[in-house]
């Protein structure tokens, strides 16, 4: 795309010391997973980093930002915490088991705190997120292409893989139908692979000082939901967290907060316990000041490239007054 080429061009001229050029006083990197393994439930949908790449990102960010924990971040946005330099607050989404097994040991060694925003529908491996189902199906089709004809009655497009990866939350039952045709058992995968954290692990993480907070009940795209549905899935998640003594003062949108109106924020923040919410639109500000945008770090590039591109894009949009999300 032309936009990407322009951003790539201007990012080459960004100052080496991004602490000076970074336009906000906080940096909010977000990941899903870190693994050296080929994970079939993720490899078609998330460009996750391996351990070496992740540690490289952390080391780069640590040069220019001061990593903070959740309490420090809340104090910072309320004006009660004075860092030595611009801050970085690290978060993960979806409650994947690699957070406990791989990521936390790295963070503990480096003295970095993180919060993981979870979907309770998947905790204890009770179900698999619909996008992960699509990933498993695509891997099966690629390994056994002769099976394609068996799903033609469900998928109309000739490009089965492309069509499967486009299936939306509201049509996710199609994925169960396709899996049955291909002899894929999501239940068996969940029991054998344990892709998600369990409640015991969530409590152990909390005891270690890591945060567990809300990411909706089962990962829908919010702008496709009615206001009542948005509020219902959010509150159901917060209720689960409260019942299990986890964090109830934050919420991160699944996928994106694009298209979510101010009515949702006004209703949600009637909950006085809620400190803030998070999107994932990169370096942007928001007309709803308690909604903060995170920077997706799983683009196939390292932290230096991602941040320099984000800075360049922010500067470009500033000229046309488009670097602030306006809620209607």
What's the rounded mean pLDDT across residues 180-200? 97
Could you tell me which residues come within 8 angstroms of residue 294 by beta carbon, excluding any fewer than 6 positions away?
A: 28, 29, 30, 91, 252, 278, 279, 280, 282
Confidence of residue 319 (pLDDT cuts 50, 70, 90): confident
In the DSSP assignment, the letter for residue 116 is E
What's the rounded mean pLDDT across residues 86-101? 98
pLDDT at 2: 57
What's the rounded mean pLDDT across residues 263-290? 97
Could you tell me which residues come within 8 angstroms of residue 198 by beta carbon, excluding any fewer than 6 positions away?
A: 123, 124, 125
Confidence of residue 146 (pLDDT cuts 50, 70, 90): low
In the DSSP assignment, the letter for residue 290 is T
**Strand order through the sheet with 211-214:** 291-293, 276-279, 250-252, 211-214, 114-118, 90-93, 29-31, 295-296
Residues 235-250 have pLDDT tens digits of: 999 999 999 999 999 9
CB 252 within 8 Å of CB 215: yes
User: What average pLDDT is seen over the chain?
Assistant: 94
Mapped onto helix, strand or coil, the DSSP state of residue 262 is: helix
Judge whether residue 157 has pLDDT over 80.
no
In the DSSP assignment, the letter for residue 189 is H
Judge whether residue 11 has pLDDT over 70.
no
- Of 54-58, 157-161, 264-268, 297-301, which range is least confident? 157-161
What's the rounded mean pLDDT across residues 1-13? 61
What's the rounded mean pLDDT across residues 109-129? 98
What's the rounded mean pLDDT across residues 263-286? 97
Confidence of residue 7 (pLDDT cuts 50, 70, 90): low
Judge whether residue 119 has pLDDT over 70.
yes
What's the rounded mean pLDDT across residues 91-107? 98
Task: Say which residue the tokens 């409640």 belong to.
Answer: 199
Confidence of residue 311 (pLDDT cuts 50, 70, 90): very high
For 2-125+198-325, give the CATH class: alpha beta
Mapped onto helix, strand or coil, the DSSP state of residue 212 is: strand
Q: Which residues pair with 213 in a beta bridge?
A: 117
Q: What residue spans define the domains of the chain?
A: 2-125+198-325, 130-190
CA distance 197 to 152: 35
What's the rounded mean pLDDT across residues 220-230? 98
How many CA within 13 A on the CB side of residue 231? 14
């Amino acid at each position: 795309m032309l936009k990407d080429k322009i951003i790539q061009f201007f990012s080459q001229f960004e100052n080496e010391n991004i602490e000076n050029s970074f336009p906000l006083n906080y940096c909010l990197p977000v990941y899903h997973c870190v693994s050296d393994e080929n994970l079939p439930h993720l490899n078609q949908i998330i460009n996750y980093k391996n351990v070496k790449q992740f540690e490289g990102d952390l080391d780069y960010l640590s040069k220019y930002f001061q990593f903070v924990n959740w309490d420090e971040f809340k104090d910072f946005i309320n004006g009660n915490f004075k860092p030595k330099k611009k801050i970085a607050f690290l978060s993960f989404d979806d409650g994947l088991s690699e957070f406990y097994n791989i990521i936390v040991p790295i963070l503990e060694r480096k003295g970095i705190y993180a919060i993981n925003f979870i979907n309770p529908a998947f905790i204890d491996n009770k179900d698999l997120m619909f996008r992960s189902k699509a990933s498993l199906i695509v891997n099966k089709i690629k390994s056994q292409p002769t099976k394609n004809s068996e799903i033609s009655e469900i998928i109309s497009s000739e490009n089965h893989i492309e069509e499967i990866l486009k299936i939306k939350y509201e049509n996710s039952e199609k994925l169960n139908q396709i899996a049955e045709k291909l002899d894929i058992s999501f239940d068996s995968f969940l029991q054998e692979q344990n892709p998600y954290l369990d409640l015991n692990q969530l409590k152990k993480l909390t005891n270690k000082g890591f945060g567990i907070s809300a990411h909706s009940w089962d990962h829908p795209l919010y702008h496709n939901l009615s206001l009542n549905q948005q509020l219902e899935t959010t509150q159901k998640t917060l209720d689960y967290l409260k019942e299990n003594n986890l964090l109830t003062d934050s919420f991160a949108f699944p996928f994106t907060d694009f298209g979510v109106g101010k009515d949702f924020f006004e209703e949600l923040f009637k909950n006085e316990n809620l400190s803030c919410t998070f999107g994932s639109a990169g370096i942007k500000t928001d007309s709803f000041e308690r909604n903060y945008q995170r920077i997706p770090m799983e683009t196939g590039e390292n932290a230096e490239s991602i941040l320099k591109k984000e800075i360049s894009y922010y500067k470009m949009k500033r000229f046309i007054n488009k670097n602030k999300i306006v809620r209607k």
